[in-house]
Chains A and B, each alone.
Chain A
Amino acid sequence: MKYMLMIYASEAAENAMPPAEMGAIMQAYGAYTEALVKAGALQAGERLRPVTDATSVRVRNGKSEVLNGPYADTREQLGGYYVIDVPDLDAALVWAARCPSSVYGTIEVRPIWEM
């Protein structure tokens, strides 16, 4: 089964981290991604640029609204994602718990709609 792991974390908290700490997290992500590959679970994954670089679009009544910023102002922001292929939810939850940002953020695990 395929799941998307959505990584929510406070950008403000991350920006406030000392470089050494952020460096450790980046290394951890490298190891995490490699572990996913070795397990044959990784389908996709990207880190997203911060929400200050985001633009949002809505089309209502034929009119395009282009807004500066993310979909919603939240305490934690979507910082990246993985798409993994694992046997069941428990396996996905284990990977989510291993994600380096899980210790200071939240990982949402959502099944992918099989077509």
Chain B
Amino acid sequence: MGDVAAARRAAEATARHSYGKLVAYLSRRTRDVAAAQDALSAAFEAAMQQWPLQGVPASPEAWLMAVAKRQAIDAQRRTATRDAATDDLLLLTPQSTEDTDGAGRTIPDDRLALLFACAHPAIERGVRAPLMLQTVLGLDAAAIASAFLVPPSTMGQRLSRAKAKIKQAGIPFRPPEREDLPERLDTVLEAIYAAFTQGWSDPAGLDPRHHNLSDEGIWLGQLVVALLPHEPEALGMLALMLHAHARRGARRDAVGAYIPLAQQDPSQWDTALIDEAERLLHRASALHTIGRFQLEAAVQSAHIIRRFTGQTDWTAVAQLYGALAELTGSPVVEINRAVAVAECEGAAKGLEILDSVADDPRLASYQPYWAARAHLLAHSGARDAADAAYAQAIGLELDPAVRQYLQQQRNRL
């Protein structure tokens, strides 16, 4: 019994840490992402059966890769399409990755190549980020769908089509040429940030799918910055992530209750991370090419300035969101801008902005919209409307701590 538990833990740990690496390695050589994922699923199942009996291997990654490769080769044989990809796989004999003496030959990291394949212009724009999240970070389609305000079945179909396109159209698995890099980078950055915020919404690490997602997001961000040290948006994105990560200790109190940003205790913020974020943002601004990630990072700066001044710079926040709104046209930005404007000019002004985006159908199930609306309605004295909005927000919130906070706000009406 203990062996089964140990095997399961080892398999889960390997899945969390290495899924993307394994998918990338296998996909790069077969160009078939879906088949790589299937082969790895089978390998993980085999691990669950064999590790309790044989013990957890010294190099779980290598073991899984060897099994997955055999699965992939068998699958290709069954479809009777012998091609260059199969030959590549056969050339990689089991000994090249199987760990027989415990020395642990590591699987090379092809995740960047996979990221750029997912962000290729030939892939439909709306599915690039979801594809990266699923293949590089192992998120499931339902979680991705919710982050992108899209029904899960639609997302599943789009992901299938995208993987088929990669295979059928021969989309390459390598970073683009230097001259194409900046353009292709933007979609990569979007996806990395989307992954980071998924992990950020679960600071207690309760959901195993989210575990390490913030760390993975930051790691990928650091990788991209190392590869492209003069790309302002890559720097901006990493700054943004580090700012958010710096505050993870302050977002819940000792009993796990949710604390909104404006009420957090600055002494709980990680100063080293904040300083690093500010340094990155400074580097980015010296490159004189403003972009959405730099603007969002600047918003973070304006918020946490209160560690020195005691006050959030709401005017700066509102202005920055204004610039962001012009750049992106996103209703989410408008929601944040409404809250900032309300802090400067009163709840009525904020509500005007919310009203201007109220018709967007995607916001009907978007919790932050209802929470912002409830907050501003409460401050403008519209008690009944605020109560209804809080009810909506509570009904849409997944995080119990945030739900409890919203309930408290509602009770105070």
Within A63-115, which residues are at the interface with B (CB < 8 Å)?
87-90, 92, 111, 114
Q: Does B168 contact A (CB under 8 A)?
A: yes
Chain A residues positioned under 8 Å from B172 (CB to CB): 87-90
**Which residue of the partner chain A has the closest CB to B167?**
A111
Question: Quick one: which of B81, B122, B170, B176 contacts A1, CB cutoff 8 A?
Answer: B170
Q: Which of B81, B120, B170, B171 has the most CB of A within 10 A?
A: B170
Distance (whole angstroms) from the CB of A79 to the closest CB of chain B? 23
Give the docked Cα–Cα distance between A1 and B85 (Å): 12
* Alpha-carbon separation in the docked complex, A111 to B172 (Å): 13
Q: Are A111 and B171 in contact (CB under 8 A)?
A: no
Q: For this complex, into which size category does the number of interface residues on chain B fall? A: 10 to 19
Inter-chain CA distance A88–B83, complex, in Å, is 14
Residues of chain A within 8 A (CB-CB) of B169 are 89, 111
**Cα separation A92 to B172 with both chains bound (whole Å):** 11
Hey, which chain B residues are within 8 Å of A1, CB to CB? 170
Q: Give bound CA distance, A107 to B240, whole Å.
A: 40
Least CB distance from B113 to A in Å reads: 12
1/0 per residue, CB under 8 A from A, across B118-129: the answer is: 001010000000
CA distance A92 to B121 in the complex (A): 13
Within 8 A of A (CB), among B77-94: 81, 83
SS class of chain B's interface: helix, strand, loop or mixed?
loop
Which residues 23-52 of A sit at the B interface, judged by CB distance below 8 A? none
Question: Contact residue range for chain A?
Answer: under 10
Q: How far is the CB of A31 from chain B (nearest CB, A)?
A: 23
Point out which of B83, B168, B171, B176 has the most chain A C-beta atoms below 10 A from its C-beta.
Answer: B168
CB-CB under 8 A from B122, the residues of chain A are 89
Q: How far is the CA of A63 from the CA of B171 in the complex (A)?
A: 42
Residue in B120, B169, B176 whose Cβ sees the most chain A Cβ within 10 Å: B169
| Most B CB within 10 A of own CB, among A88, A89, A92, A114 | A89
Chain B: CB-nearest residue to A110 = B169
Contact with A along B166-209 (1 / 0, CB 8 A): 00111110001000000000000000000000000000000000
Interface string of B313-329 (1 = CB under 8 A from A): 00000000000000000
Compute how far the CA of A3 lies from the CA of B169 in the bound complex, rounded to whole angstroms.
9
A50 to B277, CA, bound (A): 60
Nearest CB on B from A90, distance (A): 5
| Whole-angstrom CA separation of A15 from B176 in the bound complex | 38
Q: Which of B88-136 contact A (CB under 8 A)?
A: 120, 122
Shortest distance between the CB of A39 and any CB in chain B (Å): 17
List of B residues within 8 angstroms of A88 by Cβ: 170-172
**B120 contacts across to A, CB distance below 8 A:** 89
B83: which A residues are within 8 A, CB to CB?
114
The residue that A111 contacts in the complex, of B81, B170, B176, with Cβ under 8 A, is B170
A92 to B122, CA, bound (A): 12
Closest to B83 in A: A114
Contact string against B for A residues 1-36, beta-carbon threshold 8 Å, 1 for contact and 0 otherwise: 101000000000000000000000000000000000
Cα A3 to Cα B168 in complex, Å, equals: 11
Distance between Cα atoms of A89 and B176 in the complex (Å): 12
CB nearest to B121 among chain A residues:
A93
CB distance from B298 to the nearest CB of A (A): 35
Inter-chain contacts of B170 with A (CB < 8 A): 1, 3, 87-89, 92, 111
Binding site for A on B (CB under 8 A): 81, 83, 120, 122, 168-172, 176
**Further pairs besides A88-B172, A114-B81: 18, Cβ < 8 Å:** A1-B170, A87-B170, A87-B172, A88-B170, A88-B171, A89-B120, A89-B122, A89-B169, A89-B170, A89-B171, A89-B172, A90-B171, A90-B172, A90-B176, A92-B170, A111-B168, A111-B170, A114-B83
A: residues with CB less than 8 A from B are 1, 3, 87-90, 92, 111, 114
